[in-house]
Structure 1
Amino acid sequence: MRAFLFLLLLFPVLELFVFFQVGTAIGFFPALLLIIAGSALGALIMRLAGLATALSARQSLQRGEMPGAQMLNGMMLTLGGGLLLVPGFISDVLGLLCLLPFTRHRLASMLQRRAEEQAQRQRAFAGDAPAPGEPPRHRPEVIEGEYERRDN
């Protein structure tokens, strides 16, 4: 937790340092225009990615499929757009990595694999769930009916 807090506090300092370096190399106003253009691009991508994800998820649900892959892809697009929206060059580079198809698919497959491993770990510790590879257990047969209590 302390490492995360340290990185969270260090990130703006690194962003300012990189902005200063880029501003020194190409000038202040071109660097500022790059930051503003990146933020505008991020806002546009977030808007389009959200709409495209919602439409593809709805189509998958209409076909009777679970939209897991589309949702994960949309999440990566939204994360990339959000990182572009944050002012700074480091966040823009990370956002572009989330937007490029080959890195996006690789990150999405890594996240999906970790989520599946986590789900298997949770299932292994569940009391009534069968372990992976074990056949499902049968529940006791329930007979529905009505009853009447008669006290003598």
Structure 2
Amino acid sequence: MTTGDQTPPPSARPRRSRLRRYLPLGIAVWFVLEIWLLTRVAGAAGGLTVFLLLVAGVVAGSVVIKRAGRRAFRSLNEAMQRGGSPERGGGNGLMMLGGLLLIIPGLISDAAGLLLLIPPVQQAVSRYAERIFERRLRKAAPGSLGDAFQQARIHRPDSKVVQGEVVKDDADAPGDATGEPRPPLTR
């Protein structure tokens, strides 16, 4: 085994981001809160009421997602006919997220989904997300966004990329005269 094949010692591993560390805990807390609230509402108003609320959330979320999807497709179609690019944003993504939150069973997710359907809330969330995205993009790498796309293009899954050498599958390459396939590349 070469030194390149060994895993780095634990001290050399990069630290996990806050999001990756606390996201599972947040999802578990959200799940427990949803169940607790559903049981409290079922105890106060009855199980049929909770069932009807959940069904109404699924139906409303489906309608919202369908409407937002149609609006996004219509916007894209009009932009393509004009020969330009579609308008940026438009609130369709946040409307779809609101519809998805309505579809997810639970009263907290329904409340968050309904909030995302209000235009001033959509604009505030959109501005906040854009600020965070731009800040992270500036902090991530000294290069431009084009450099990131170039790096992504280098490591396409349809081709082998080995550091420092180009691998070709030519029939006249040395070692291929027998017609047997080459052994897989390892690092």
> The TM-score by the shorter chain falls in which range?
0.7 to 0.9
Percent sequence identity over aligned pairs: 29
Bigger drift between 109-118 and 12-21 goes to 109-118
Structure 1 or 2: larger helix share? 1
- Compute the RMSD of aligned alpha carbons: 2.0
- CA distance in structure 1 between the aligned counterparts of 2:64 and 2:114, rounded to whole angstroms: 11
Is the 8 Å Cα contact of residues 42 and 80 (structure 1) preserved in structure 2? yes
Q: Cα gap change, 1:110/1:62 in structure 2, threshold over 3 Å: closer, same or farther?
A: farther
Taking structure 2 as the reference length, what is the TM-score of the superposition? 0.60
Aligned length: 125
- CA distance in structure 2 between the aligned counterparts of 1:14 and 1:85, rounded to whole angstroms: 17
Deviations 1:46-76 (A, max 9, x none): 1111111121133234442452222xx1110
- In the alignment, structure 1 residue 99 sits paired with structure 2 residue 81: no
Query: Which consecutive unaligned segments of at least 5 residues does structure 1 have?
Result: 130-152
Deviations 1:85-130 (A, max 9, x none): 00000000011111111101111121122223334445x6018x8x
1:115 corresponding residue in structure 2:
133
Larger relative contact order (Cα-Cα within 8 Å, sequence gap ≥ 6): 1
Taking structure 1 as the reference length, what is the TM-score of the superposition? 0.73
Cα distance, 1:10 vs structure 2: 2.1
Query: Which consecutive unaligned segments of at least 5 residues does structure 2 have?
Result: 1-19, 147-187
Is the 8 Å Cα contact of residues 75 and 86 (structure 2) preserved in structure 1? no
Deviations 1:34-55 (A, max 9, x none): 1110111101111111111121
Q: 1:125 aligns with which of 142, 153, 158?
A: 142
